[in-house]
């Protein structure tokens, strides 16, 4: 996806190339210096005007209508009707408005991960973690993204899950640690991790029976 600064730089390079080509053509045709300067000023003026219109109205990563107008239209719709890209656009705007808030980055990571974009999700979770190094959700999210990228639990992703286990009483990091133990075919560690997860589940958690069976060494 193109970023605004990429578009601006590309536009500047194209404008410069166009001015150079036109000036060279005029010189080869015998044009005078005054005419050449006029052409150069015309190209520069057009470039500045185009850039101004872009900065006021446009965003290359949200096509179709002016960026502000699209965000205003989204604000009138229920959140549950958003597509993934629309939700990401709203979260990106919130992230720009509140650069120290980890929540937009965290939610963006979850959307990207569920959309099959683990590399982008990992960057979003990492951004959330830089804003809040004690965020268990960001640690879990980054670990999940790394597992999706690597296709397995690595020492780095396990270290993040262990850190998250110390920061929250939720069962989630223990469930993923149990899955890692099952991947290693470590029966004792599998039972221990599922027991830890089970002890943190609420009475109405639908995963309780599965966790109980795994913790006791049964098959679910």
Domain segments of the chain as ranges: 4-57, 169-220
Whether the CB-CB separation of 114 and 145 falls below 8 Å is answered with no
Instruction: Quote the DSSP letter at residue 81.
Output: G
Rounded distance between C-alpha atoms, residue 73 and residue 158, angstroms: 42
In percent, how much of the chain has pLDDT > 90? 58
Mean pLDDT value of segment 59-81: 68
Amino acid 69: pLDDT: 75
Tokens 């396990």, located at residue: 158
User: Angle 4-28/33-57 helices, nearest 10 degrees?
Assistant: 160
Lowest mean pLDDT among 24-33, 75-84, 90-99, 105-114: 24-33
Q: What is the CA radius of gyration of the chain?
A: 26
pLDDT at 63: 52
Angle, helices 118-131/136-150, rounded to nearest 10 degrees: 160
pLDDT on residue 78:
82
- Residue 55's CB is within 10 A of a number of other CB atoms, namely 11
In angstroms, the CA 217 to CA 193 distance is 12
pTM more than 0.95: no
Q: What is the mean pLDDT of the chain?
A: 79
Residues 6+ apart with CB under 8 A from 53: none
Mean pLDDT of 107-135: 97
- Predicted local confidence at residue 164, as pLDDT: 98
pLDDT at 13 over 90: no
Q: What is the pLDDT of residue 216?
A: 94
Ramachandran area for residue 174 (φ above 0: left; ψ -120 to 50: alpha; else beta): alpha
Residue 54 has pLDDT above 70, yes or no: no
Q: How confident is the model at residue 219 (pLDDT cuts 50, 70, 90)?
A: low
**52: which 2 tokens?**
């101004």
> Which of the four pLDDT bands, split at 50, 70 and 90, describes residue 68?
confident
User: Token pair for residue 179?
Assistant: 């899955």
């Amino acid at each position: 996806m193109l970023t605004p600064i990429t578009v601006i730089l590309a536009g500047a390079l194209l404008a410069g190339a166009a001015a150079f080509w036109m000036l060279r053509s005029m010189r080869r045709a015998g044009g005078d210096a005054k005419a050449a300067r006029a052409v150069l000023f015309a190209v520069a003026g057009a470039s500045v005007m185009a850039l101004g219109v872009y900065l006021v109205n446009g965003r290359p990563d949200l096509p179709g209508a002016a960026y502000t107008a699209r965000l205003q239209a989204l604000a009138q719709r229920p959140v549950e009707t958003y597509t993934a890209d629309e939700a990401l656009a709203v979260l990106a705007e919130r992230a720009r408005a509140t650069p120290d808030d980890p929540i937009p980055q965290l939610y963006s990571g979850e959307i990207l991960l569920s959309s099959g974009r683990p590399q982008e999700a990992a960057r979003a979770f990492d951004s959330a973690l830089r804003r809040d190094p004690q965020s268990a959700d960001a640690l879990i999210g980054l670990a999940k993204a790394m597992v999706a990228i690597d296709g397995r639990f690595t020492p780095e992703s396990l270290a993040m899950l262990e850190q998250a286990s110390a920061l929250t009483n939720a069962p989630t990091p223990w469930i993923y640690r149990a899955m890692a133990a099952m991947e290693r075919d470590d029966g004792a560690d599998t039972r221990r991790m599922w027991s830890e997860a089970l002890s943190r589940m609420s009475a109405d958690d639908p995963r309780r029976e599965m966790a109980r069976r795994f913790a006791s060494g049964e098959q679910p």
